[in-house]
């Protein structure tokens, strides 16, 4: 049996086996047996960019079905990472139990199992991991709409959600949605409108690894999937409506992946009328309208925040205002004017802020382009055009 890590404590006695419920804060030489359900990278995103790598976080389950978080610091991560397999079972001797963080917790237990310098990790049942059958495969913690709503913005525990999909990137499922990998990469996310058993439809944003996992499973499915389950989602308030966002710890399951999604499929079959209920306030289907139709919709008293496609011809760039603004790359706020430039106190980034005149067959209107929309239209980042503009007009000030 291969062991990972080394022990500095040799007592000549067999280590005492311990269940998760028996763990107390502090150092322990006891032996833990568990299944590694999942693990992911922990990063410090407060500094912006990709974030500094802090270590590996783990979700572990013991033979009693108790789930705990684990942590391997960045200095030890490389030692253990190549030996960790999701779903495999291990023994761990010598560890340190610390209080779990209060924000974004993924398990009920108040302690986290931290690997120490003398921790010894071994595959349970040998290198072939043949003793997996004595552990539960997984354990989930579901919230419904009301519970997610009550926890918006609290950054507390992260819970799981399961439901049936209404829209995928604005496309209804009656005709199989077409997902473009290049679009997913450029947008960094996939947007799913998900309806749960208790009725309301919620926007569910899948980011990074969760978006890639969804894309791979959805596009490889023979039939159009309808049931989706995502673990450890973060509830937010966007535009006055509840929205869920995937996290680094999130996993994605579709249709027949696990027993939970199979049971939901059976529920859908038994409750066809309930499954068709839709909360129109939460659903945003992207439709193609004329300028006149969009104008008429905006003037309605019951108009909601909605997305539309509009095919129009650009007539002019309105010149009574600046076509860009200097913004902080982190907060996107407009920067203030300094002695010689307009820059953020921390960092500077040029962003599009353009008013354009457009027309179609019957009407004319003015649209405002912000941020990435300007980049998509021109094919160039705002910073590049700003530099070229001032190179050609060196006599003009920064306000032009």
Q: Locate 26 and state its tokens.
A: 């502090």
Contact call for residues 34 and 90 (beta carbons, < 8 A): yes
Burial class (CB in 10 A: 0-12, 13-18, 19+), 231: buried
How far apart are the C-alpha atoms of 66 and 62, rounded to whole Å?
A: 6
Burial class (CB in 10 A: 0-12, 13-18, 19+), 183: exposed
> What single DSSP character describes residue 47?
G
- Structure confidence at residue 26 (pLDDT): 96
Q: Any alpha helices (H) in 221-270, and if so which ranges? A: 259-270
Residues 170-210 pLDDT 10s: 888 888 888 988 877 777 789 999 999 876 889 999 999 99
Burial class (CB in 10 A: 0-12, 13-18, 19+), 366: exposed
- Structure confidence at residue 374 (pLDDT): 61
> What single DSSP character describes residue 302?
T
- Structure confidence at residue 342 (pLDDT): 47
β-strand partners of 228? 163, 254
Q: Which of 339, 335, 337 is nearest to 350 (CA)?
A: 335
In a 3-state reduction of DSSP, which class is residue 161?
strand
> What single DSSP character describes residue 334?
B
- Structure confidence at residue 12 (pLDDT): 44
Contact call for residues 352 and 374 (beta carbons, < 8 A): yes
Token pair 């209080």 is found at 99
Contact call for residues 167 and 285 (beta carbons, < 8 A): yes
Go through the chain and tell me how many residues it has.
Answer: 400
Q: Locate 251 and state its tokens.
A: 């996993």
Q: Which of 60, 54, 68 is nearest to 121 (CA)?
A: 60
Q: Which helix (H) or strand (E) is 390 found in, with range?
A: helix 382-392
Residues 126-169 pLDDT 10s: 555 555 568 998 999 999 999 999 999 888 899 999 999 999 99
- Structure confidence at residue 304 (pLDDT): 57
Question: What residues in the chain have per-residue pLDDT under 70?
Answer: 1-15, 45-50, 126-133, 199, 275-289, 297-298, 300-310, 316-354, 369-400
Query: Between the CA of residue 175 and those of 102, 171, 196, 229, 306, what are the distances in Å?
Result: 43, 8, 21, 21, 22
């Amino acid at each position: 049996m291969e062991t990972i890590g080394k022990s500095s404590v040799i007592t000549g006695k067999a280590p005492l086996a311990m269940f998760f419920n028996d763990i107390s804060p502090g150092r322990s030489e006891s032996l833990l047996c568990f299944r590694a359900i999942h693990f992911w990278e922990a990063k410090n995103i407060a500094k912006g960019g990709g974030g500094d790598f802090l270590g590996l976080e783990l979700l572990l389950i013991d033979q009693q079905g108790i789930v705990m978080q684990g942590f391997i610091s960045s200095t030890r991560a490389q030692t253990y990472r190549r030996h960790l397999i999701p779903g495999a079972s291990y023994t761990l001797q010598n560890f340190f139990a610390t209080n779990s963080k209060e924000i974004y917790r993924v398990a009920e237990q108040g302690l986290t199992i931290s690997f120490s310098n003398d921790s010894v990790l071994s595959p349970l049942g040998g290198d072939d991991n043949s003793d997996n059958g004595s552990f539960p495969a997984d354990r989930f913690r579901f919230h419904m709409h009301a519970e997610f709503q009550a926890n918006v913005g609290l950054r507390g525990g992260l819970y799981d959600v399961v439901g049936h999909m209404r829209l995928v990137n604005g496309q209804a499922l009656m005709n199989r949605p077409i997902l473009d990998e290049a679009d997913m990469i450029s947008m960094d996310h996939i947007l799913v409108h998900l309806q749960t058993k208790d009725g309301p439809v919620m926007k569910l944003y899948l980011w990074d690894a969760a978006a890639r996992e969804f894309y791979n499973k959805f596009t490889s499915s023979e039939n159009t999937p309808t049931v989706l389950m995502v673990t450890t989602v973060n509830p937010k308030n966007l535009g006055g409506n509840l929205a869920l966002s995937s996290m680094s710890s999130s996993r994605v399951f579709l249709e027949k992946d696990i027993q939970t999604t199979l049971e939901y499929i059976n529920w859908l079959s038994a409750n066809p009328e309930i499954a068709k209920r839709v909360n129109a306030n939460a659903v945003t289907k992207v439709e193609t309208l004329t300028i006149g139709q969009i104008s008429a919709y905006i003037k309605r008293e019951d108009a909601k925040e909605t997305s539309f496609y509009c095919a129009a011809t650009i007539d002019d760039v309105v010149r009574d205002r600046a076509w860009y603004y200097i913004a902080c790359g982190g907060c996107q706020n407009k920067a203030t004017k300094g002695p010689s430039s307009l820059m953020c106190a921390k960092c500077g980034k040029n962003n599009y802020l353009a008013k354009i005149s457009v027309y179609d067959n019957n009407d004319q209107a003015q649209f405002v382009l912000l941020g990435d929309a300007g980049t998509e239209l021109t094919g160039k980042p705002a910073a590049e055009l700003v530099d070229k503009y001032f190179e050609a007009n060196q006599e003009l000030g920064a306000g032009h």
